[in-house]
Structure 1
Amino acid sequence: MNLNLQNHIILISGGAKGIGAAISKTLIEEGAIPVIIDPSPEGQQLVELAHGKALHIPIRLTDEDDTENVIQQAIKKFGKIHGLVNNAGANDGISLENGTPKEFLNSLSKNLLHYYNLAHFALPYLKATKGSIVNISSKTAITGQGGTSGYVAAKGAQLALTREWAAELLPYHIRVNAVIPAEVMTPLYKNWLGTFPDPNSKLKEITDRIPLEKRMTRPEEIASMVVFLLSEKASHITGQHLFVDGGYTHLDRAL
């Protein structure tokens, strides 16, 4: 499908690995120009894949000034912003029982605050293009997980902000949606599996609970939904939480 995204400038935080990399690659395939905000060197490989029609900003979004600087770099290079994908973050295991208030606050900073900051500083340019925002959340915001209060609080807030921003930005024709993955094989997920004595057995235990096809969701399947939501084909979709999870969150896992 031609999504008419040719030469659209799309910012993606955490756009060099895992789900973010899949989004960047899908945008490149659609002729869009991804701005990959990620300290990982893989971001430069994606620029090469795009034959230079991309920008890698190797920065970790830790404070307000960094975020504003990212927006200004994108504008200096391209002059416009058509879309924003808030994606960066990690399940850091800051729990209620074993975490500390300081660690909880730091987890929110790493997983939530840059979502607001990027949207805030990109907003004047999104207004000019009637652009779109997609927030990547997590099924843990719906189901809970145990042992990860900071991450889950951030993911739940992302869903709330999706609806709040969709309401606030209606006058500017800016659409805001969230995509909610469940079990997706990413580098971080592989690292987590490696903490178990038998990673293959743990993986089978998980996939056996995924209703559709008993398999993990592929990063490319998340990316397809995200890129669709960024496009004019999704022109009347806003304020939505869209699950791409093989039925994991809502279907009976005994099916």
Structure 2
Amino acid sequence: MDLNLTDKVVIITGGAKGIGAGCTEVFAAEGAIPVIVGRSPDVGRELIEQCGRGHVIEAELTSEEACKNAIEETLEKFGKIDGIVHNAGINDGVSLRQKPEDFMASLQKNIFHVFTLTHYALDALIESKGFIINISSKVADTGQGATSGYAASKGAMNSLTREWALDLAKHSIRVNTVVPAEVMTPLYENWVKTLDDPQKFIDEACARIPFEHRMTTAHEIANAVAFLASDKSAHTTGQIIYPDGGYVHLDRAYGTVEKG
């Protein structure tokens, strides 16, 4: 299916690794121009070279100036912005036991740049009748325990999806969110390795996923993102989509109960 994304300029935060890298690859394969914004410029440049098109902007996204500069550099190089994929973030484990300043720092890492980049890109998005796609997390729905900052940030992202979809509808800007559940990204893999029995944890996690008892791939998330970015989803806005094998909304006991 041709998604009609050829030459669309798409900013992808954290687009060098994990789900972000999947998005970069899928958008490039669809003929779009991915602009990776984040803290891994060398990895990003290698990925862009493999993809054959795109651009990399090194940026510390907790900085307002860096966010502003990233938008300005994109506009200077390409003359337009057709969409933003807000993917950057980290489950940093800031719990109720930690200090309020730690909580605020977690919000700064995980939700500040979502607002700030969109703020500075707004005129360009209005001009292009562009799109905004947020990459949230199951944690916003299910909780996790001991990660108040991340949960609050992803909950805020879901809320902003509905707020911005309503606010920007008059400009024909569509805003949607994709919610990953269990995806084996490099960050997830590194965290799993800290557990006493990583394989047992993975096996138990997969057993709770109703569809095929496996984790979602980064490219499956990216394909959902690309579809929402395309004009094949031209009348879809304010939606929160769960390409998660049924993890969040189907009975997680499914995998342990024999069905007749």
Same fold (TM over 0.5): yes
TM-score (norm 2): 0.96
> Which residue is 1:109 aligned to?
108
Structure 1, unmatched stretches of 5+, are none
Match of 1:200 in 2: 199
Q: Percent identity?
A: 53
- Structure 1 segments of 4 or more deviating over 2 A? none
Deviation at 1:130, TM superposition (A): 0.3
Give the 5 Å matches for 1:53-202: 53-96=53-96, 98-202=97-201
Q: Structure 2: which 5+ runs fail to align?
A: 255-260
Number of residues paired by the alignment? 253
CA distance in structure 2 between the aligned counterparts of 1:62 and 1:153, rounded to whole angstroms: 16
Q: In the alignment, what sits opposite 1:13?
A: 13
Alignment of 1:227-246 (within 5 A): 227-246=226-245
In the alignment, the residues of structure 1 paired with residue 177 and residue 208 of structure 2 have an alpha-carbon distance, to the nearest angstrom, of: 24
Once residues 131 and 241 of structure 1 are traced to their aligned partners in structure 2, the CA distance between those partners, rounded to angstroms, is 18
Post-superposition CA distance 1:152-193 (Å, at most 9, x none): 000000000000000000110000000001000000000110
Structure 1 position 62, deviation (Å): 1.5
CA RMSD after TM alignment: 0.7
Cα-to-partner distance string for 1:57-78 (whole Å, 9 max, x where unaligned): 1222121111000000000100
Q: Distance in 1 between matches of 2:38 and 2:94?
A: 23
Q: CA deviation at 1:50?
A: 3.0
Matches of 2:224 and 2:28, distance apart in 1: 15
Quick one: distance in 2 between partners of 1:250 and 1:161?
21
Q: CA deviation at 1:49?
A: 1.7
Supply the distance in 2 between the matched residues of 1:60 and 1:229 (Cα, whole angstroms).
27
Look up the equivalent residue of 1:72 and give its one-letter code.
E
Amino acid at match of 1:208: A
Write the distance in 1 (CA, Å) between the matches of 2:38 and 2:24.
11
What is the rounded CA distance, in whole Å, between the counterparts of 1:254 and 1:148 in structure 2?
24
- Equivalents in 2 of 1:180, 1:250: separation in Å? 12
Is contact 1:43-1:58 (8 Å) kept?
Answer: no
Q: Which amino acid aligns with 2:194?
A: T
CA contact (8 A) 1:141 1:152 kept: yes
Instruction: Please give the alpha-carbon distance, in whole angstroms, between the structure 2 residues aligned to 1:50 and 1:249.
Output: 33
1: distance between equivalents of 2:68 and 2:122?
11
Which position in structure 1 is the counterpart of 2:32?
A: 32
In structure 2, how many angstroms separate the alpha carbons of the residues matched to 1:220 and 1:213?
17
d(CA) in 2 for partners of 1:246, 1:65: 39
Q: 1:253 deviation in Å? A: 1.0
TM-score normalised to structure 1 length: 0.98
> 2:258 is matched with which residue?
none
